[in-house]
Amino acid sequence: MNKLTQGVVLLLFGGAILRASVTDLYLRYVKEGLRPFLIATGVLLVAAALMTIWYSFRETPSDSGEHGHEHEHHGPGVGWLLILPVLGLLLVAPPALGSYAANQAGSVVAEPVGGSDYPPLPAGDPVELSLVDYASRALFDAGKSLDGRELSLTGFITTAPDGAPMLARMVLSCCAADGRPIKIGLDGRTPIDVPADTWVQLTGVYTARTIKDPVNNVDVAYFEVRTWQEIPEPKQPYA
């Protein structure tokens, strides 16, 4: 590749990153808090690309004449493959990790908060909780802060080893490549005949039942469902 071509490819890379960052597309790849870093990276790449293109046009014939033949032959054509991930980012919106990824990995271990007591839930029912928060309170606080409250959980449907529906959501440490599921078993009026990957919002109450995840043998909390409804996939699919 000559300098002009390198600059164009770099410009496409930076533009693709900026496009993903200023829309919700970046949420398919990384955590929400990384957006400022992506924007800064995209701006730097675009700036470097524009400088490269500018220098390629400023280059005089005498600068390149001595090595003209070398420039004509350029580098290996495989360099053009760099354009493929750019096109993929520009043209294809990948689906969020779902039930297949959840079934292949063990549930994350919900960590207890500092101290022995969990803070009380906000007033008003139902209280909307993340799956991680619910699992942590159910497993490490014996449900004391959950008992007697109507709760609301949101996630996608996946399948337990026995074929029963479970609720799950992928948890990211940094990006989708390190995503792991948090899984919640379901009792009561569970969603029936709902395809895997369907997003649902459940209301119900705490139940003390737990099972072991057969993938990594960690405890999985249960939730007693009273009502449920299908919902669109949220803008931020990851926890």
CATH architecture of 99-230: Beta Barrel (2.40)
For the cut 90, the answer to whether the pLDDT of residue 18 exceeds it is no
Find the radius of gyration of the CA atoms of the chain.
25
| Top-confidence residue, 25 or 207 | 207
Model-level pTM? 0.74
Query: Percentage of the chain with pLDDT > 90?
Result: 35
Alpha helices per DSSP H over 125-229: 131-140
Q: Taking residues 211-215, report their average pLDDT.
A: 90
Alpha helices per DSSP H over 66-181: 68-73, 83-91, 99-104, 131-140
For the cut 80, the answer to whether the pLDDT of residue 110 exceeds it is no
Nearest to 150 by CA among 132, 165, 178, 128: 128
In angstroms, the CA 47 to CA 74 distance is 23
Where in the chain are the domains? 3-91, 99-230
Main-chain dihedrals φ then ψ at residue 8, nearest 5 degrees: -65, -45
pLDDT of residue 91: 67
pLDDT, one tens digit per residue, over 111-121 is: 665 555 788 89
- Residue 148 in contact with residue 139, Cβ under 8 Å? no
Q: Taking residues 47-67, report their average pLDDT.
A: 72
Q: Taking residues 224-229, report their average pLDDT.
A: 96
